[in-house]
């Protein structure tokens, strides 16, 4: 296969994951597989009085916050499509085709996992939502650590597994906190901040992500975080019955940030060994 030949493998795998996970989500919502509505995610504004007094009146509890997660699926598919051409990945990422597919799949899964919580407000849906966040944060951290240490698959796998495990422990053993709402969100933010710090170190030694796309990713995520805060229940931007939900904008902006990060990875440079 020449460098100009497109590989269908990344897109085929990601599309299969997107299809299966979306069908599973639809069936889970329709048949109640995720459990009863316990209010998970209800702090993100979208609800109606009718749904509160008559839960059966709304199959999808938070429509805007649910369907906006399509952005993650589209971002994952866009990553997979571009990954089909190795010459578009840069030397570092092109040498790790499995990682590119993993990134596309994890970004894609953010959609159905987050939608599981917003559609049902169930406890299991909330756990799936948080797990998907831990997976993407751990992947970003593991890739940064692997490049920092010039490590291989073992470095990546160990870092990834430890980051996910510690995040889950923080989520399940912690409690409510100001601003970030609970310790699970704090763990997610902490892992990402450590990854950003490592990327700064890598940039200083000439191995960082592409500057333009890296900056775009940070800008999109920073804007998303601001909107995430302003769109909580009882905050100024909260209009419970509107289809224009700030938290839906958070989903779309985070999907754009994920795609921009991938483009930054594809534009990274290696220090000569």
Report DSSP letters for 179-210, one per residue.
TTEEHHHHHHHHHHHHHHHHHHHHHHTT----
Q: Using CA atoms in the order 67, 71, 76, 79, what is the torsion angle rounded to 10 degrees? A: 160
- The alpha carbon dihedral of 126, 225, 204, 208 has a sign of positive
Report which of residues 59 and 244 the model is more confident about.
244
Mean pLDDT along residues 21-29: 97
Place of tokens 């754009």: 256
How does residue 56 score in pLDDT terms, banded at 50, 70 and 90? low
DSSP alpha helix (H) spans, 84-182 = 90-94, 97-120, 123-149, 153-173
Give the Cα-Cα-Cα angle 80, 107, 84 (nearest 5 degrees): 10
Q: What is the pLDDT of residue 133?
A: 98
Which H or E run includes 14?
helix 9-31
**How far apart, in Å, are the Cα atoms of 81 and each of 8, 85, 135, 232, 259?**
8, 8, 21, 35, 12
Is the whole-model pTM more than 0.75?
A: yes
Mean pLDDT along residues 27-33: 95
Q: How far apart are CA 31 and CA 225, in angstroms?
A: 33
Please answer whether residues 231 and 198 qualify as being in contact, where contact means their C-beta atoms are separated by less than 8 angstroms. no
Q: How far apart are CA 50 and CA 145, in angstroms?
A: 49
**pLDDT at 54 exceeding the cut of 60:** no
Q: What is the pLDDT of residue 106?
A: 98
Mean pLDDT along residues 51-68: 76
How does residue 50 score in pLDDT terms, banded at 50, 70 and 90? very low
**pLDDT at 51 exceeding the cut of 60:** no
Of 267, 272, 262, whose CA–CA distance to 90 is shortest? Answer: 267
Q: How far apart are CA 90 and CA 95, in angstroms?
A: 9
Mean pLDDT of the chain: 91
Which H or E run includes 66?
helix 63-67
Please answer whether residues 41 and 248 qualify as being in contact, where contact means their C-beta atoms are separated by less than 8 angstroms. no
**pLDDT at 57 exceeding the cut of 60:** no
């Amino acid at each position: 296969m020449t460098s100009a030949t497109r590989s269908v493998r990344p897109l085929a795998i990601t599309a299969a994951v997107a299809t299966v996970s979306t069908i599973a989500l639809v069936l889970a919502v329709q048949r109640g597989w995720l459990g009863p509505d316990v209010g998970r995610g209800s702090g993100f504004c979208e609800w109606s009085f009718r749904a509160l007094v008559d839960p059966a009146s709304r199959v999808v509890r938070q429509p805007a916050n649910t369907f906006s997660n399509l952005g993650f699926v589209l971002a994952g598919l866009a990553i997979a499509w571009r990954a089909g051409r190795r010459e578009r990945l840069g030397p570092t990422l092109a040498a790790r085709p499995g990682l590119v597919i993993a990134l596309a799949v994890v970004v894609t899964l953010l959609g159905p996992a987050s939608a599981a919580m917003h559609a049902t407000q169930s406890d299991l849906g909330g756990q799936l939502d948080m797990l998907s966040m831990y997976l993407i944060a751990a992947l970003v951290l593991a890739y940064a650590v692997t490049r920092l240490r010039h490590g291989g698959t073992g470095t990546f796998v160990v870092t990834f597994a430890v980051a996910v495990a510690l995040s889950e422990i923080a989520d399940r053993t912690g409690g409510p906190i100001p601003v970030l709402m609970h310790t699970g969100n704090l763990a997610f933010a902490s892992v990402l901040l450590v990854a950003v710090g490592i990327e700064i170190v890598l940039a200083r030694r000439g191995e960082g992500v592409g500057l333009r796309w890296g900056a775009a990713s940070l800008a999109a995520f920073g804007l998303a975080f601001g909107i995430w805060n302003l769109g909580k229940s009882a905050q100024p931007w909260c209009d419970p019955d509107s289809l224009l939900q700030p938290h839906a904008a958070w989903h779309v902006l985070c999907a754009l940030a994920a795609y921009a990060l991938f483009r930054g990875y594809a534009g990274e440079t290696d220090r000569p060994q």
